Amino acid sequence: MFVDQVKIKVKAGKGGDGMVAFRREKYVPNGGPAGGDGGKGGSVILKVDQGLRTLMDFRYHRIFKAKSGQNGMIKGMYGRGAEDTYIAVPEGTTVSDADTGEILGDLVEAGQELVVAKGGRGGRGNIHFASAKNPAPEIAENGEPGIERNLKLELKVLADVGLVGFPSVGKSTLLSVVTSAKPKIAEYHFTTLVPNLGMVRLDDGRDFVMADLPGLIEGASAGVGLGIQFLRHVERTRVILHLVDMSGMEGRDPYEDYLKINAELKSYDPSILERPQIVVASKMDMPDASENLARFKEQLAQDHTLAKQPEVMEISSLTHQGLEALMLRTADLLAQTPKFETVAEKELKQAGYYKFEADEAEAPFTISRDANATWILGGAKLEKLFKMTNLEHDESMMRFARQLRGMGVDDALRERGAKNGDLVRIGDFTFEFVE
């Protein structure tokens, strides 16, 4: 089964908690703090594996969790950092955030890696909080939470040449003749339900990858037929072979077919029509093919809306007529055609970076009130500070209170009408507001 679009959930490991400990050795009175730091949590990393061709491996395994770091220990010993979790993906995988739609990366090279969920840093032990005023602090940080996110993986076939056209125009037959691929071929529409790839090798030593893409029909970009499902695979091709059936056996007009397919490609991504396109007149061994081809060329010549007249080449996959000339011409076009940017690459280029943390412009905290008149504090930055606070020690709680005051939470609550004794909640933790 060919799987080219899946959603998965990834969760990086939490950092290990820092330790509150003191040095207690014979002959060493007042040894001071000796709590070590926690180890870093493991990150979740996508890595390209050349041996994969589809996203089938994700069909039943969709949740990936990295391990947490080890807690800090006594005598200033640091916790062990957790190993990163690697997830193998095929070449041509585009990664985006399923919740926001933001594109995170485009993986197209063997061995390429992308960190999609960064592991949390380890919490600091009390050895870091000693000062002249407080030489024996009972303060330690919990480990930083790991990033958790829902991802959407899309596989876009890596092919140099793409075969497009209406169903049953001979795309699969052409691929089976010029490559060693063995696509399903039958006399009914939508025989091809998944993209098929094959390698074309010419006598002069040149070669390229050709993809037979499932048949498009009018309205495909709006979801008709196989819909937009396979239009994404055209994005990476550098040369398009547009097959048009000249036999007339389907009762359709070749020129109308040509215009409709181009309209669907333009509707999906206008830049697709900027790349070289050869119009391949297929099934030229049929009785009425020559007459239909002459009429097709005449209609093309009279169409003044076209920016330039497309190149038309005649073939018959059955008799092998014109196949060698078509493959040689295709190889020539590939040699002079650069790689085109996909939609994902354009978005990444505009962003200029991969975004993994909360937006810095986002408010550091939010305040709301529930039906019981309890004040609710939220916000990514505030919640992160709370999770890294060790609630088992009073000094750690006092430090958290100072952090809230420094962020302006106290003043904001007063402005909203908070009074002495009001209840304030952060997650599941509730405390009293004290003036």
Tell me: is residue 337 an annotated ligand-binding position. Answer: no
The whole-number average pLDDT for the span 139-153 is: 93
Answer yes or no: is 167 a known binding residue: yes
CATH number at residue 202: 3.40.50.300
Average pLDDT over the chain, rounded to an integer:
83
**Based on the structure, what is the number of domains in the chain?**
3
293 and 410 both lie in a single domain: no
Look up residue 263 and give its two tokens.
């309209």
324 belongs to a structural domain? yes
| 266-278: pLDDT as tens digits | 887 787 888 899 9
The answer on whether 410 is annotated among ligand-binding residues is no
Domain that holds residue 390: 366-433
Examine the domain organization and report whether 118 and 246 are in the same domain. no
The pairing of beta strand 196-201 with beta strand 207-212: antiparallel
Q: Do 143 and 221 sit in the same domain of this protein?
A: no
Same domain, 171 and 265: yes
Q: What is the CATH number of the domain that holds 394?
A: 3.30.300.350
Helix crossing, 323-335 with 171-178: angle to 10°?
90
Question: Residue 274 class from Cβ within 10 Å (0-12 exposed, 13-18 middle, 19+ buried)?
Answer: exposed
Statement to judge: residues 241 and 317 lie in one domain: yes
148: Cβ contacts below 8 Å, ≥ 6 apart = 9, 10, 11, 12, 117
Asked if the structure places residue 129 within a domain, the reply is yes
105 labelled as ligand-binding? Answer: no
Instruction: Centre a 10 Å sphere on the Cβ of residue 283 and count the other Cβ atoms it contains.
Output: 24
Is 131 annotated as belonging to a binding site? no
Backbone angles phi, psi at 34, to 5 degrees: -145, 35
* pLDDT score at 40: 96
Q: Is 198 annotated as a binding residue?
A: no
Residues 183 and 320 in one domain: yes
Residue 358 lies in a domain: no
Q: Is residue 346 part of a domain?
A: yes
Residue 371, pLDDT above cutoff 60: yes
Q: Report yes or no on 113 lying in a domain.
A: yes
Residue 46, pLDDT > 90, answer yes
The answer to whether 213 is a known ligand-binding residue is yes
Ligand-binding annotation for 171, yes or no, is: yes
Same domain, residue pair 335 and 372: no
The reply to whether 127 and 67 lie within a common domain is: yes
Residues 235 and 294 in one domain: yes
Residue 193 in marked binding region: yes
Instruction: State yes or no: pLDDT of 119 exceeds 90.
Output: yes
Q: What is the pTM of this model?
A: 0.71
What does the pLDDT read at residue 2? 53
